Structure 1
């Protein structure tokens, strides 16, 4: 019998200390009291008795070598397993790299899991959180794993309350260093958390509607579409729409312009796009002949709640006889609210191109070049005006000239042709010809014609009317083709601009292709993996322009090894001719992206190989020379010579070992697998060891160590390496000497356990040089691997020292910050905390 998959609940917090672990343990105890079998599979005490798993009276499955023992949990087969820190890293040699993969095994085994996570560990948001807090991202959880959870619940705490917890010693996490617990950082992280949850809820609602075909109820988040066209000032309309959403949780205004037979191109689309982006929105262009329909379809595709459209302010009669786009949108829109805004400023701003009906417009309108409304108007004019003109001519007894009547009828046919095109005009010409024969050609009131001249008049009248109708229809077709070509040219220009401009051009082009051709989904796939995708929300009913039977999936090649999959309405020959041109641009953008990545990778590889070449050459040459000397002159060497050669070989091999160790540690830092062994460390002892290892004598380093410093909580080996790196860098840039100082600072931090938690002093270790210093705007770069700011050649190592030092210090719960040295130079300040239980 197949085991049912377990359910995953994730307790999501904005920052460490909001109470996710306590909430998990409390929920576990509640479920146990309800009779369910609950075990603690992994939980961190976080240096507090309140989060000590043993204090909650729950069964514990012990961890094995620091990792979640999935085999033991599955053998125990509880109803619910509590797993803290979903993004935690498993130790080397484990079955998986990350704890969330262990959780997947538990879920597959039918065990329900309750876990915890902070927003900075969500993969797509880790770099955003890093920018907010200054804390590098550690292990992360893929967004797909989190979105696939059966429930994501926010454990929230006001930022001020969280700071109060920190001050009271109730948070014992290393991340309390840096900017992580500054008020602005906590507010930003809280906002990020709530936005992620709101977005997840919005996507879940869309998925439900798509699965069940549910009608679209009122949206929680306001989405305002502003239609830009011939009426109204486009910038004014965008700003008006931005004011409508300024007080809601929605995004900025979504501008849309319909390019087609009856619309002029937008004026200065790049400026309008920049304005829309500054207002927090976006700009799109749709190609279509039915302007109101295209606007409404686009609004539905983005789940708009409101449509803002300009109106020319016509009077009541004008709105009835000649309604504008705004009036027609208001009549036909059955979902979003429509705001009619009186046009102000000069007409013109119009929009760039993406969303929806390029394919529809390229399919064209059936039955001629003119639209259905104009054809109906032409037929109506022929039906109404023909009898009226006949009555008027019959009412004049003096009117007996067949030629004059024929000219009047020809004029009416020409007017009908101008209004409705060829078919209304031909019908009018035939009808008026018959009327001319019956009422105005002798013998009257019969369909017989007494003379050739009268017959010629009737035939010429019909022929001229038909000829004029054909000319008018042909002109309309040419106009339509010209405007469609202009719209296509504008689209290609926009696509070319995206290829040349900025980052992520591939994703932007995929979005634009989907929107421009009215597709519901577009996916770029290469070597079986999705490179970029774009999807539109489907309306509850099919678009009036794209019936269900016309929708299909198509696939087009994009360069070598890639293809573009499109789901949506079928395109006619014009659309199929244009699409390959755009996919060629997409292939170019894909190649540019590959070249950019290769160039960036090449720069790092060149820097690495250059530095490796030098750093490996020196110790290898020394070791080789020493070993060669021992072998070639073994019988001639004195004991002293032999000892010196052995010492040279040992030092060289030690340097090689240090180089390899640095490279391995960089990898460990990147994967979050660096092991940190915290213990009590005497400041003076570690400073002495660092000075010895760096080979710095009293004439090079000036010491200033404050007496009676507390014992630090640190990893002695890592701290020594940090100080050696800092001293080596400082001496290289300041040959005249450097200052190394250690003093007690004023900050405090939770480090203790039990009921009476200790609050420890901060100790700052500073290494100051008097070299050229670093530009404040580039200080963040010095902590990146393979960076050697201020070095003029490739003979100064791999540029890993400061990157490793920062990672080591933060792994010990401290901070490493650069400061200016008074009088010029750079000072590196290491801040660490007192070991728990020490009086200092």
Structure 2
């Protein structure tokens, strides 16, 4: 990929806006519409240029361009044919406000910056240039198979759906099939020799009608996504009936099949309508229907092209309505209650409550064979555990009886009636805390009877002589019921508050870790499984709408984690078209959908962060590789050519037939060949070592080694210019002898090369508790402190312009090889001037 220069302000420049004219079929006039848009913008004073408009030899299209500025196209020669493409660099250099780019799905000629034109458009958008472009519906990647089935033609040039979906504005350009066929027949689309074949094949009226419907449905999905985002961004909870969504409330009973089929028929009346089935489970996790029945109804919904959802809720009608509002439903289909008339009169029915709560959502009531059959349904009166409910009803009788026994034992008159009322009221509150509302109401009634019979004159009968006492008893019952209701409600709200706080705390911690880059997709799904007590959570993604789902991250709840009993319920939470969460375990309440969506958003952020990190790492690698290649080419052009030139000159001198050389000249030329060959060998060895280091192909073999065996071999070529001090009693080092020898040789060669004439380089070794240090000391010019950070990078000559210093690879190779064997190379200043290179090699643990 060609690297383009950008101004320093580019990272802060706004991204350009993309406008797409979507054609329902070829020839509907999308290019004309784009040019009309350009004229309108230019009339408003906007700087507009034509980056590329395909006229297809149509005079009307060429004339439509008119006086718009046209950026010359880039010419590409491929297999002897000259092709013209969008010149992205020319448009970027021109810097217009708006650029017109026709045919977004076009495949570029080989040798272009990008293989596809939509990628060129992204370059323009990244540079802050608004782009107006065109594409036909048959070129959308997700519709390729559908278009082939309709027209019999396989589209070779496609554009990913997401590219068009992400556009800031999409304009549908459409014509009726009859109008388009007339336009084609008049020669406004194809050349005369192509008209008859086109009318008989691709442009048949049925084909055009089907393509038109595909375009409308695809655009409706995109508009629906935009509406969902808008409602979410603006916290709109009311239903907007922009699209028919039919929610069918199923109980798992035999009547559910009737409801589902009726809902499917209603959905079929409106094109693009959705069918969603929702089944509410009680808060204690117990199933309201056999799992086999739920599975059969799930399969039925899927066969009807609908989706099945399971939610958890304390109250069935509220959960159904909450779900319907959450999906922006337009109708709820419910069945007539299975309860008998007397039970409906006492307790009401779910269908009537759904109708009362639905608000703007229509409710369709369906009768069935099981209506009013009296078939029992599981109770939803309390969300408390069975043990607490039993304890509540027992205490509803036991607490008043105990208090009665206590006051009777104390004797009549020992405690006043107001005190007895307060004690019984306290008992009712205690029952409410244990068993909830209805046991507390029962306790209040029992307390009323006990107070009336035993403590209110005349005792021993259910009559009250003093009207004030009667009033006190009645007020007692009312207050007891009210207090019990408040206590029960407070207990429920406390549980909900604790749960909400836990979820908020978890989401806050998750957000902080994700935004700081400390979290992964695996951590997100693990947190989700633990927070909601799910058996299994999978984060899945796919490259396009028709590709299979791939698991990105997968988590299971630890075997020892406690959770409420769960049923095998699978819930799908769609993040976007390319990502989803699959939740396996207990069903989640409708109120948790928002929290699940928040987790999904964080998962999407994690995936996007991971993708950006990978792209950044790849870009850094490419940048480093590009810098290395550039520096290598710049250095090799001279530093490798110099010894080769010297060798060639010396060889030519020795081989000249008409020149007779004496012994001194021959020896001088031979010495030049030897010196240049040695220099060339060192350069090539350094290049090969650097290549091995950068590709990770260095494989050291570490074993105990003596420096006395390594250092003399490494410094042998420079012994005449060295002072060597390597004691014999040094401990062994844990290293690769061959690689460490290369490290020492490079450091010594560098020190000798930079030492002043006549100055000797000192090589000394000493040991510490953990390492053996080898010091290479020279008296050269030294290195400034600010350059010591970069001196170990390839091709760094540290300001030395002497070409005889080589490619600047010695220190880079030495540092890389040292790291490979577990050693470390550092630079220090030599007292009195110069540079000291310190090689710290880990000890092997034993002394000689």
Larger Rg, first or second structure (1 or 2): 2
Give the TM bin, normalised by the shorter chain. Answer: 0.3 to 0.5
- TM-score, length of structure 2 as denominator length: 0.45
